[in-house]
Amino acid sequence: MAKEKKLVEAITSMEEDFAQWYTDVVKKAELVEYSSVRGCMIIRPNGYAIWENIQKELDRRFKETGVENVYMPMFIPESLLQKEKDHVEGFAPEVAWVTHGGLEPLQERLCVRPTSETLFCDFYSNIIQSYRDLPKLYNQWCSVVRWEKTTRPFLRSMEFLWQEGHTAHATAEDAEDRTIQMLNVYADFCEQVLAIPMIKGKKTDKEKFAGAHSTYTIEALMHDGKALQSGTSHNFGDGFAQAFDIQYTDKENKLQYVHQTSWGMSTRIIGAVIMVHGDDSGLVLPPRIAPTQVMIVPIAQHKEGVLEKTAELKEKLGNFRVKVDDSDKSPGWKFSEQEIRGIPLRIEIGPKDIEANQAVIVRRDTREKIVASLDTIEATVCEVLETMQKDMLERARAHRDVHTSSAADYEEFKSAIENKPGFVKAMWCGDRACEDKIKEDTGATSRCMPFEQEEIADTCVCCGKKAKAMVYWGKAY
């Protein structure tokens, strides 16, 4: 055991330094490598395989709601970006510009897309004429560029991968329904697949997307008590439609503006998986998202029959994402590597196990050892993976609930933010000045006004005026 512990000593304890722990995990689990371009990351096979599974699961869910995939250019002419005033002002500090083509200066600067609203709007203005053309339910998988000052792998990088959905509808009601529908798709995906419970709610005007009528969010709580905005869904109303002249002829032959939505989730969600489930030995992946669900480690593999039996076992477990580590490293090294990479189950099989017609299953999250008969091992593995998926969600939910407190007055609120890492529920008057003061005094921001409202008090926690909404507050990534 001492030897095995030594193998993972390179990972800093999360209690000692959470930021360093996070960096150690993404490096040691070989999820990313730093690139020669400042603020940009190389996503390695272990990391990209997680993204592929996220993409596959989300894409299936999108298509079940009628969404189709398209692809837009990565460059946006400056004149196009300037069409929606609030939008361009919101993104101006983060935009990367192309000024030359080869050696020649461009007549018009091109923006490297920070997001694609303007491209979709330009496209929709050309292809939507009649009510028969609606709704348009499109999504694209791509990368975007935002010129960030400080970066951290997955959580904030200058270029990152994501999907962005952009839909156009005949009515305001249809757009609102789609906005909420896609938020629910995200929340269900995070809970069912990533084992991360989410708080669903509406962003304040200060925190909403630039140019949006309203923004809805799912907020997760990390192990260190900080919040992470994990996915957003925006109702644009007809603001972009008016700026880009996206009109259709209705059934009465009258011209109407379309109502639009936009919604996105990025590789930042991988950061959430790391920070919600990881431990001091490395990554802990929920079975439904793990690229490798089962790693078979042959013990005394040089002995006759061990590798043959291992191959048989791999074939028997063909319904799972399963690999065999038959490298010439010691079992201790193999166990340590499997732990760092967060592989949900390890199966150990050696000469004594073969003789007893059994194998030993080890859970990554609890390290519980289960002796399983080789005759029924497929059913056992299925059951253990399902139990592990459920347990990880319940642990994450319990952690969030324990680290969620309420505050009725400002002193209580400030004390909670300072001394109890996590969400703080408190009432708000709706005035941005109070939001700004809370951030200035405590460093906490409004995370969302949850759909499930509670009345903590009658008055705003900051100014004492009549309260309009209960808000989740917290420090965030």
Q: Which residues of 429-456 are buried (b: 16+ CB within 10 A; e: fewer)?
A: bbeeebbeebeeebebbbbbbbeeeeeb
Region of residue 422 (phi > 0: left; psi between -120 and 50: alpha; otherwise: beta): left
| CA–CA distances in Å: residue 35 to residues 39, 47, 213 | 8, 15, 38
Mean pLDDT, to the nearest integer, of 156-177? 97
Query: How does pLDDT run across 433-455, given as a tens digit for each residue?
Result: 999 999 999 999 999 999 999 99
Q: What's the confidence (pLDDT) of residue 9? A: 59
Q: What's the confidence (pLDDT) of residue 7? A: 52
Query: How does pLDDT run across 352-404, given as a tens digit for each residue?
Result: 999 999 999 999 999 999 999 999 999 999 999 999 999 999 999 999 999 99
Confidence of residue 276 (pLDDT cuts 50, 70, 90): very high
On the question of pLDDT at 8 being above 70, the answer is: no
Q: Which two tokens stand for residue 370?
A: 């289960």
Phi and psi at 274, nearest 5°, equal -60, -50
Task: Decide: residue 370, CB within 10 A, 0-12 exposed, 13-18 middle, 19+ buried.
Answer: middle
What mean pLDDT, rounded, does the chain reach?
95
On the question of pLDDT at 405 being above 70, the answer is: yes
On the question of pLDDT at 274 being above 70, the answer is: yes
Out of 105-114, 146-155, 406-415, pick the least confident.
146-155
Mean pLDDT, to the nearest integer, of 262-288? 98
The three-class DSSP label of residue 135 is coil
| Residue 353 and residue 299 in contact, taking contact as beta carbons nearer than 8 Å | yes
Mean pLDDT, to the nearest integer, of 195-210? 96
Task: Decide: residue 371, CB within 10 A, 0-12 exposed, 13-18 middle, 19+ buried.
Answer: exposed
Q: Which residues of 173-195 are buried (b: 16+ CB within 10 A; e: fewer)?
A: ebbbebbbebbebbbebbbebbb
Q: What's the confidence (pLDDT) of residue 2? A: 44
> Any bridge partners for residue 232, and if so which?
217, 264
Task: Decide: residue 206, CB within 10 A, 0-12 exposed, 13-18 middle, 19+ buried.
Answer: exposed
Please give the Cα distance from 114 to 133 (Å, whole number). 28
On the question of pLDDT at 3 being above 50, the answer is: no
Which ranges in 198-330 belong to alpha helices (H)? 239-244, 268-277, 306-316
Residue written as token pair 């995070």:
190
Picking from 283, 379, 300, 388, the residue whose alpha carbon sits closest to that of residue 339 is 283
Q: What's the confidence (pLDDT) of residue 88? A: 75
Percent of the chain residues past pLDDT 90, beyond the cut: 92
Better-predicted residue by pLDDT, 9 or 84: 84
Q: What's the confidence (pLDDT) of residue 211? A: 87
Q: Which two tokens stand for residue 42?
A: 């190389």
| Residue 477 and residue 228 in contact, taking contact as beta carbons nearer than 8 Å | yes
Please give the Cα distance from 118 to 345 (Å, whole number). 46
Mean pLDDT, to the nearest integer, of 14-36? 96
Please give the Cα distance from 261 to 280 (Å, whole number). 41
